[in-house]
Amino acid sequence: MKFLSALLLLALSPTQTVAFAPANNHAVVSAAPSSTSLQMGPPSPKSLLTETYGEGSRKYRRTVYTHNEWIKHRSSDRFIRNISSMINSGVYKSLGREVVATTAIATFLVVFNALTGGYTDFDGVQHEAIISSLPQLTLPLTPFTLLSPSLGLLLVFRTNSSYGRWDEARKFWGLNINHTRDLNRMATAWYGNEGDPWDGTEFMGAPSSKAQAIDPAERQYLLGQISLMTWAFVRSMKRHLSPPDEDEEDYIAEMNSRLSPEQAEAIISAVHRPNRALYDLSVAIEKLPMHFLRKDELNKNLSIFEDTLGGCERLLSSPIPLFYSRHTARFLSTWLLLLPFALYGQFGDSWNHIMMIPATAFISVSLFGIEELATQLEEPFTILPMQGFCDKIGGWCDEITSWAGQGQEAEEAVQANIAEIAPSR
């Protein structure tokens, strides 16, 4: 029984999991079709069976937490809630064939050894072996005990590496969120500042431009292009990292609804759509009326976007080395398939060793479950709420660029600001 305790501790080793996401309403930036209409959270009872586990369930795991979800996450009844939902777990459903295989071997072993070594009937009467010419099938427990630490290390490394990939992808999108806001904030605040507006100080022999009255319509259009191209980049990046059959139609519909026909066609028809959107954003920045040094600061954000895009492409195209994943899977499968032969003698106190069957099923679910979690986390993009990120970015950028001017576009307002600030210089 000490061995079972050790296995239980191994199965319950700290791992990071992604639960079904709670229902969440994302801010939608337009009335165009958007995959944010996809219901987050557990599949409904009417969902197809294939959507309750495996690949079909990944779109329901794009977790976005608010304060309400954190309160539920920390609630004192979380253990009862998690145990009661085990039967509906997509992770456990994905393990059906593996668990059935190990449990079938345990069942076969109980029956076979009863026939070859004797059995006890329901009245407690001991009977001789029916097939005395064959030996009972057992293995010593020592090899499994010796291999348990090695298997544990393999699973821990596999899980930690997969979680690290998920965490890295989430941080890349966090940088996108931060620097899209930063880019639009600077563009909005610096709009029209083409030089020193007070004294016309020369820079490298060229006189600075004086402050000019701002045309509200032109400002709205140019800053609107900054916001729009920022959204187009992250939306194209999301499409670039998503399966075509899930996102292509929504992507084309959203691009056509928000961009001009020429802009949408240029991006959609590009071989590398995020690069084209980023180029259009660079052109939009170049058209802004501001000093070139300030434009350089804006363009630094675009270099960060290139880094996050390249980092996500690296994660998508380069899995954990396949020989490591395959060896771990083979080691785990062989270990669990042979385990019933070593556990048979440990359950001699139970009726005909029958308790070995549920014990084998439990151990298999626990250990196969750890490997399944690692496999599901390894490719992070189809379980990250990227569409929600894109919609939020679009809404935030539109709001930031709407703050431009705020009464300072008239020439008299510009002159009044100059007169007020100039004495302090």
pLDDT digits (tens, 9 = 90+) for 39-49: 445 555 555 55
CB distance 169 to 381 below 8 Å: yes
pLDDT of amino acid 407: 45
What pLDDT was estimated at residue 50?
55
133 token code pair: 């010419």
Give pLDDT tens digits for 125-172. 888 989 888 999 999 999 999 999 999 999 999 999 999 999 999 999
**57 within 8 A of 379, measured Cβ to Cβ:** no
* pLDDT at residue 214 in the model: 78
Rounded CA separation 76/90 (Å): 23
Distance CA 187, CA 169 (A): 27
pLDDT of residue 301: 95
One digit per residue, pLDDT tens: the chain, 425 residues?
444 444 444 443 333 333 333 333 333 334 344 444 344 455 555 555 555 666 666 666 667 788 888 888 888 888 888 888 887 787 888 888 999 999 999 999 999 999 999 888 888 888 898 988 899 999 999 999 999 999 999 999 999 999 999 999 999 999 999 999 999 999 999 888 665 444 444 555 555 555 566 788 888 999 999 999 999 999 999 999 999 888 899 999 999 999 999 999 999 999 999 999 999 999 999 999 988 999 999 999 999 999 999 999 999 999 999 999 999 999 999 999 999 999 999 998 999 999 999 999 999 999 999 999 999 999 999 989 999 999 999 999 999 998 865 444 555 555 555 555 454 44
Q: What is the pLDDT of residue 192?
A: 82
Rounded-to-integer distance, Cα 394 and Cα 192, Å: 23
pLDDT for 83 equals: 86
Three-state helix/strand/coil letters over the chain: CHHHHHHHHHHCCCCCCCCCCCCCCCCCCCCCCCHHHCCCCCCCCCCCHHHCCHHHHHHHCCCCCCHHHHHHHHCCCHHHHHHHCHHHCHHHHHCHHHHHHHHHHHHHHHHHHHHHHCEECCCCCEECCCCCCCCCCCCCCHHHHHHHHHHHHHHHHHHHHHHHHHHHHHHHHHHHHHHHHHHHHHHHHHCCCCCCCCCCCCECCECCCCCCCCCHHHHHHHHHHHHHHHHHHHHHHHHHCCCHHHHHHHHHHHHHHHCCHHHHHHHHCCCCHHHHHHHHHHHHHHCCCCCHHHHHHHHHHHHHHHHHHHHHHHHHHCCCCHHHHHHHHHHHHHHHHHHHHHHHHHHCCCHHHCCHHHHHHHHHHHHHHHHHHHHHHHCCHHHCCHHHHHHHHHHHHHHHHCCCCCCCCCHHHHHHHHHHHHHHC
Return the ∠ at Cα 155 (arms to 151 and 159), rounded to 5°: 175
Q: Rounded CA gap, 116 and 43, in Å?
A: 48
What does the pLDDT read at residue 90?
78
Contact 238, 34 (CB under 8 A): no
Length of the chain: 425
Amino acid identity at 20:
F
**Cβ atoms of 18 and 377 closer than 8 Å:** yes
* 251 to 149, 160, 242, 412: CA distances (angstroms): 48, 33, 10, 45
pLDDT at 124: 86
Predicted pLDDT of residue 208: 52
CA atoms within 13 A on the CB side of 246: 21
Encoded tokens for 160: 């930690």
- pLDDT score for 217: 86
